[in-house]
Each structure stands twice: as C-alpha cells, then as structure tokens.
Amino acid sequence: MPREKYRDKLTVREGGAYYSFTRLSNSYDSDPQIGLEQGTLRTGFAGANFGFLVELGDAPIEALDLDHPAVQYLAAFAAPTEEPGAREQQRKTGSGFNVADLTYKSFQTASVGRTYIVRSVNYESSDVLVAFFVVRQDTDGSLILLWKKLKQFPTPHLARQ
C-alpha cells in the first residue's frame, strides 16, 4: 500500500507500505525488506541496514534462480560485519552502481509487468534474496506481487564502532 496514502489511516505502522518476505507482514515493525512510497520501491530502512534492488523487465520469476546472471552478484555478495562497511554499502546502493549492464540500487520505480530482485540485509534480523513480479496496481495505488524466495542467508550481525 502506498505509504503517502495510508500512513496515518491504518493501525499497522506506516499504513501497510512495507513488506517482510521473512515474516509475511506489512508492518514496519516486522523486519521489512521492501517498501512503497510515491511510486517507488525501496529497501534498507533503519540503522545500518541496506539492500539492493534490480529491475529485470518482464523476465518470468520462474526462470530466476541462483545461477541466473542477474542473481549471481547478489547471491555471492557477503554482507559487511563492521559498521563502516555497512555504511559504505548504504552510500553505494543509494547512488546506484552497475554490474554486467544491470543497475543495482536501494530504490527502483514500481512498474506493473516488471520483475525485480531484492537482496535485503537487516542486521540482527534477516538477510534474504527474493525475486518478485508486480502483477497489478489497484485503484488505491497498492501493488499486488508474485514472489519467490531465492535464498535465505544466515542472520547478519554488525560490530559497531
């Protein structure tokens, strides 16, 4: 659900604008990996948490696995264990970067009929790699997603300095 529309109208924190693939919840309090605000999908929300989003056009999620070229970089990425490294990843994904002709960043325009991959690193909570397809957008701006978990990584821990 779009944050700008439902933030103060629903009892779930942030109006159901966030989703957790690990806890199957729309609450911001339940380890969210993606969020929707002003037509933009986002990842990496609190503290040193960060994430990567990449848009793959109309690629069928059934064809995506850990060997797919667009997934390989995210599957091989090792989350930093010290805060300076996590903050560097936040900066890097905030401005975006390219690997093999794909742009990885912490936000992407939400488009119906498009497939995305997200790798979300939430320290002390989860580290997950998910492919999802935006099936439709309802009249209230909410998105309907079809998704599959590609890999659940060990829970990341961060040494703070």
Let me know if residue 131 belongs to a domain: yes
Higher pLDDT pick, 117 / 100: 117
Let me know if residue 12 belongs to a domain: no
Let me know if residue 22 belongs to a domain: no
The domain total for the chain is 1
Let me know if residue 136 belongs to a domain: yes
147 within 8 A of 130, measured Cβ to Cβ = yes
β pairing state of 102-104 and 143-152 = unpaired
pTM assigned to the model: 0.92
Let me know if residue 134 belongs to a domain: yes
What are the structure tokens assigned to 112, written together?
């119906």
Q: For residue range 60-83, list pLDDT tens digits in order.
A: 999 999 999 989 999 999 999 999
Confidence of residue 17 (pLDDT cuts 50, 70, 90): confident
Q: For residue range 82-114, list pLDDT tens digits in order.
A: 999 999 999 999 999 999 899 999 999 999 999
Let me know if residue 5 belongs to a domain: no
Closest residue by Cα to residue 2 from 11, 12, 14: 14
Inter-CA distances, 77 with 68, 73, 92, 144, 152, Å: 14, 6, 14, 28, 13
Let me know if residue 141 belongs to a domain: yes
Let me know if residue 158 belongs to a domain: no
Closest residue by Cα to residue 130 from 103, 113, 153: 153
What are the structure tokens assigned to 125, written together?
């909570």
Residue 7 is predicted with a pLDDT of 62
Which structural domain, as residue segments, surrounds residue 140?
48-152
